[in-house]
Chain A
């Protein structure tokens, strides 16, 4: 009973934080679940189910308002899936401490890239005939560029998702905005839609390995989904600059705490 209450309440907080910063919440949920007593690989399994839940909620909005580029999302998904399944097979064979150290390194990387920021590349308007992946964002039409960069980067993003139980948006969104040159809102929306497949496939692999405590999944879902909805409302009230600084600091603090936890395990 105590574990269920702590997981639900903690996940609610994680959902609010994740929704506020526009991330799936996996990067904060995995440390929380480890703190509640789950093994790191079990925390990853539970987090993948929660990423699937938050992706369903957010993508319903993204598809309805037309910001998500469904065609591009369908192109990304097979590569994300292969990366996620490969990492999902590997994850249970890693030691607990090794997984946590790698997770801390990923958090540091995310904190650094968020803090340094960078201006999104300008979208390119379609020219000539209609393109398969053309989209519209904020009333302006755009055409995705450099699609050859999609396979290797999506394999890496999928692997990060399957290994660490994160959505992979931290990798997918910058790629879509900087390289494929999608408008930022379209990049976030398209990434959100794609993560459903990544989390589903990696979640199934973790289920096979017996590393998904389904009771914890239920309690975490109860917290993380309403929390995410509250966080998404908060996001629009805070400045982008403040959000970026706070998110980077929070990721840094969580990275240090995860590394200390890993040190205690090794």
Chain B
């Protein structure tokens, strides 16, 4: 694998890690606040949403960095399927709130 081939993978990895770590930290802080006090579920819910956005961020990064057309198409299909599931979930959760 050449350095040029590795560059997109490195960028994708970085984006995925940043989103996952942010979501994980929000979850842990939200859980800790609820444990020691009477905090509401807002931070926990936000953490879960950010954490779940990780695969979507990865597909977005692939779309931005990948140059091979078949892979772009597959990433687009994957992102659309994930967006459909997440959109349905958000609609149900916000509707219930």
Contacts and interface: CB of A to CB of B under 8 A. Distances in A.
A64 B93 CA distance: 36
A17 B57 CA distance: 29
Given A52-B51, A71-B68, A204-B86, A64 B81 contact: no
Interface residues of A, number: 40
Contact of B48 (A85, A136, A217): A217
Given A132-B68, A208-B92, A218 B27 contact: yes
A221 B35 CA distance: 16
Determine which residue in B9, B24, B55, B77 has the highest number of CB atoms from chain A within 10 A of its CB, and name it: B55
A218 B47 contact: yes
Interface residues of B, number: 45
A156 interface: no
A201 B68 CA distance: 26
Main SS of the interface on chain A? helix
B6 A66 contact: yes
A151 interface: no
Contact of B55 (A60, A82, A196, A221): A196
B85 A214 contact: no
11 contacts: A56-B20, A60-B17, A64-B9, A132-B71, A208-B93, A214-B31, A215-B31, A215-B34, A217-B27, A222-B28, A225-B24
Interface of B: 1, 5-6, 9-10, 12-13, 16-17, 20, 24, 27-28, 30-32, 34-35, 41, 44-45, 47-48, 51-52, 54-56, 58, 62, 68, 70-71, 74-75, 77-78, 81-82, 85-86, 88-89, 92-93
Across chains A and B, which 4 residue pairs bring their CB atoms closest together, nearest first?
Answer: A218-B31, A74-B74, A66-B1, A204-B89
Interface of A: 1, 4, 49, 52-53, 56, 59-60, 63-64, 66, 70-71, 74-75, 77-78, 81-82, 85, 132, 136, 196-197, 200-201, 203-205, 207-208, 212, 214-215, 217-219, 221-222, 225
